[in-house]
Amino acid sequence: MPINFDKYLGAHDNALLLFERRNQLLAENMANADTPNYKARDIDFNKVLQGAESDQLSMTTTQQGHINLSSNDLDHRIKYRIPTQSSADGNTVDVQMEKAAYAENTVRYQTTMTILSRRLSGLTNAFKGE
């Protein structure tokens, strides 16, 4: 009987990619906190998750020149964050909010990594017959 790893691992492997990309965006935001006219960006995890669950229609490329917008491509889901307080130089980064979001995202990443590690450990034990 073949093992379907996608079914066994669930959405956790894709979630790791999402958390990694979000951490990158949040770090970019913090690095540009003093850059005039820099607009903070983020990924809304809930909307990405809803899109994955609803099985939205995906575009396919029929010729080499077409732009590939696969469901795994997170860049088209990146949004500009609405600032909570206006800035004189046009920068929309709130460093405290970015730090809090980064910490929360890191905890989610670690939790997902722990879940995947336990599932793979269980699979390894099943193969060994333990």
State pLDDT tens for residues 3-12: 666 666 677 7
Question: pTM of the full predicted structure?
Answer: 0.71
- CA proximity to 22, closest of 72, 92, 74, 89: 74
| Cα–Cα distance, 33 to 36 (Å, whole number) | 8
| Cα–Cα distance, 116 to 7 (Å, whole number) | 12
Contact 12, 116 (CB under 8 A): yes
Contact 128, 21 (CB under 8 A): no
Contact 105, 22 (CB under 8 A): yes
The residue with greater pLDDT, 36 or 61, is 36
The residue with greater pLDDT, 10 or 58, is 10
pLDDT at 59: 55
